[in-house]
Amino acid sequence: MKVALVIFFITLFLGLAGGHYKPQLPLSGEKIAIPLFVNETFKEDIEEIVTQEVINQFMLRTTLQIVSESKARYIIKGKILRYIKEPTLVNTTGGDYKITIEIVATFFSCKPEKKLWEEEVSRSVVCPSFETEREMVKKISRDIGEELVNLTLERLKR
């Protein structure tokens, strides 16, 4: 009987919430700044794509608010270290070339000012002939953003 009552109240709660229950994540309501990544490669405009996709992943997967550095409690700074575009050796997957992007990201707490973590992240993708290079850069950047979200949530749980 008690189990049925608990299930009833959970169902009622989710129904009243419109079925959009979002559990409290670490850092709920906290503010983060993600300034434009520094581009140390030859690839023009890559810093804009990588930064935007990282921001998008934080907006989609956390409750953190993206703000300017002056208003932030946390900051992620990044550098794009390498952009490599190379032909595939064997075209078994239908790809014409492989793109690799390597970045280093540093996560800081502003108050008190402290480096909480720093990691290199590298992602690659074989590009099918029907996809544009820009689309593939966005895909890799989304993967990098997802990894940075995971690192942030994992390290701050400790």
CA pair distance 86, 99, nearest whole angstrom: 7
Residue 122 maps to a domain? yes
pTM of the model: 0.78
Higher per-residue pLDDT: 97 or 158? 97
The letter for the amino acid at 6 is: V
CA pair distance 14, 26, nearest whole angstrom: 21
Higher per-residue pLDDT: 96 or 5? 96
**pLDDT bracket for residue 54 (50, 70, 90):** very high
Q: For residue 83, what is the domain's CATH number?
A: 3.40.50.10610
Domain with 73 in it: 27-157
Q: Provide the 8-state DSSP code for 71.
A: G
> What are the φ and ψ backbone dihedral angles of 117, each rounded to 5 degrees?
-165, 160
Residue 15 maps to a domain? no
How confident is the model over 82-89, as a mean pLDDT?
A: 88
Any idea which of 19-28, 106-115, 134-143 has the lowest mean pLDDT?
19-28
Q: Which pLDDT score, from 0 to 100, does residue 48 have? A: 98
Residue 22 maps to a domain? no
How confident is the model over 30-48, as a mean pLDDT?
A: 97
**pLDDT bracket for residue 149 (50, 70, 90):** very high
Q: Domain total for the chain?
A: 1
Q: Is the pLDDT of residue 70 over 70?
A: yes
The letter for the amino acid at 62 is: T
